[in-house]
Amino acid sequence: MRRLPPLGAIEAFVQVARLGSAKAAAQELALSAPALSRRVQSLERFIGKPLFDRRHQAMVANADGERLMAQIAPVLDQLSDAVEAMTSSTEVLRLRLGILPLYASQRLFPRLGELRAAHPELHLDIDTAGHGIARLGEGLDAAIALARDIDPALYAKRLDRNSVYVIGARALVEGETPIAEPAQLASLSALVHRDMPDTFDAWRDAAGLADVEPVAIDMFDSGALMLEAAAQGLGVAFMHASHFEDANDPRLVRLFGIEVESPYSYWFVCRPRALLQKPVKMFHDWLLKTLVEA
């Protein structure tokens, strides 16, 4: 039988590659920083080549590290699941799910009790770090992503179709100089999500306001923070109708009432072969039945 490197060295490598930080990986594994470094170095000696580009505050997997990560991370995750299942009194199925925080808080988490009741053996590891589609197979089994369309090489199921709303503070329509006409956007900042960069242009073009420019376009990577910024009068948010309705925030109003179809949708995405895995298939079927068909 071929000799293998120590499991601790493999585990240290995977954690550093996923987190991009030796310090964070050491905390995750309850190791000292020197101990973690020794484990990574022992794997590099075993393989005979460096696996990371080492920078001041970060360790980034190089080409060899990325290739090794893609091959061994899923196997390590399966090993972890197998050990957990054997040491548990009941079968444990684990799904590593990438998801945007706003969808998680507004749509998924209010229904998780139903998921647990239907499938008590299914446990979710929630990852809101972003770029979920790019990390499928490398720490994530599946992702709920916001996108125009999905690479046809992946399995994808559209979860919704939506409209773009202009969302602002109630004070904008109740003040002394209320915002009543779309042309008045020229006096406001537009708040746009990085995963939905075309929402402002799509709404402006559909409204026939191609020449109107906001004071500025402020980019966010958090839908929840966009809504809060809009509520505080820092600008108007170009978001989905569902974001506005599910927020149910009395401080917010929809402006103008112009109906514009969004170019973006939420999608359930995984690699095609991942659907053969029981936890992925179980969650996929529950998600479509509960949150899409309902």
Q: Which two tokens stand for residue 281?
A: 């298939």
Q: How many domains does the chain have?
A: 3
pLDDT in tens, 190-228: 999 999 999 999 999 988 888 889 999 999 999 999 999
pTM of the model: 0.71
Q: How far apart are CA 196 and CA 146, in angstroms?
A: 8
Q: Pick from 223, 214, 158, 164: which is nearest to 190 by CA?
A: 214
- For the stretch 172-180, contacts whose Cβ atoms lie closer than 8 Å and that sit 24 or more positions apart, written own/partner, are 172/233, 172/236, 172/253, 172/255, 173/253, 173/255, 179/255
H helices present in 30-100, as ranges: 33-47, 63-87
* Pair 169, 132 in one domain: no
User: 3 or 83: which carries more pLDDT confidence?
Assistant: 3
Q: Are residues 168 and 242 in the same domain?
A: yes
CATH number, domain of 187, equals: 3.40.190.10
Q: Domain for residue 83, yes or no?
A: no
Rounded CA separation 176/143 (Å) = 45
Tens-digit pLDDT profile for residues 104-134: 999 999 999 999 999 999 999 999 988 889 8
* Residues 212, 218, 222, 228, CA torsion sign: negative
Whether residue 108 is found in the same domain as residue 177 = no
CA distance 61 to 52: 4
Residue 238 and residue 212 share a domain? yes
Residues 127 and 254 placed together within one structural domain of the fold: no
Looking at the domain assignment, is residue 2 inside a domain?
no
Residue 175 has pLDDT above 90, yes or no: no
Helix (H) or strand (E) holding 114: helix 112-118
Beta bridge partners of 125: 96
